[in-house]
Structure 1
Amino acid sequence: MLGDVTIAHPTRPDPFTNRHHAATNRQNGAEDGKALRNAADRKHSKYGTEARASNFTFVPLSAESYGRWGDEAAALLNRMARHMRPPVYMEEGDVEFFRETAVERWWARLSLLLQKGNAHMVRSRAWRASRWNGQERAGFAEGLLLERGPFHPR
């Protein structure tokens, strides 16, 4: 199974000077969940054919910047939970609760990882922008951003 993360930002249709942004915003703001479906469709068109040719299942882990997750990501977590083996001491009636708890825990972890990734991306871009503008790193407000992550400007 292959997975790829995609983030969509649902926006209302605003008049942008860039025609691509204006068209994207009109499409994504037209109906509820449209940005998410468009992002997942783009991932399928980009990777789906090659994944199927290699006998892989491709699942886009798509999420909106406001927190909504895609249907395929939800289906994947629910399918994974069905394959979890509950502890032997657990009674039959508690198995469904066990699986629901596992899915909730996975959603929380995925959401946290997404937030951390976004924060690291913002931090690295802001730091690079401050360097391009000739500002010293000491003047950059690092205390407001994360200190750990994949990008370490040292």
Structure 2
Amino acid sequence: MFERILVPVDLGEVDIANRTLAVAEELADKHGARLDVLTVVPTYTMSIVGAAFPKDFAETTLEAVRARLKEMLDARPDGKVTVKGHVAHGTIYDEIMKAANALGSDLIVMASHRPELKDYLLGPNAARVVRHARQSVFVVRDLEKA
């Protein structure tokens, strides 16, 4: 049923990322799918903010994030599933949907924190992906936070 699964992760929330990856790995194993693990480095929302950083800050940051993602994936137990890491730079929900389309994903497995009143049902990135993605979206709740 699923051949290629995209798993967006937040490297600032490694425990949540690992729980989400475990769910995605189980699905991938069951369906014989491969996993693409994506993390997104957000862009500056205002050009004046970007001007305050050194000229090579974006590329240096992307390289550091690539290394952190590789380290996280290398630390996971070896499994039967093929896993490849990807790093994008831009608006988080847009980059998730762009990657899903470009990689030919047929399922997105992503985390969402326990909703607060202001979030209604899902966090802002998960909600946008659920509403706008062409792919099926499996949301893994972070029920650890109450």
- Normalised by the length of structure 2, the TM-score is 0.32
Between structure 1 and structure 2, the one with the greater Rg is: 1
Which structure has the highest helix share of the two? 1
Give the structure, 1 or 2, with the largest relative contact order (CA under 8 Å, sep 6 or more). Answer: 2
Give the structure with the larger strand fraction.
2
For normalisation by structure 1, the TM-score amounts to: 0.31
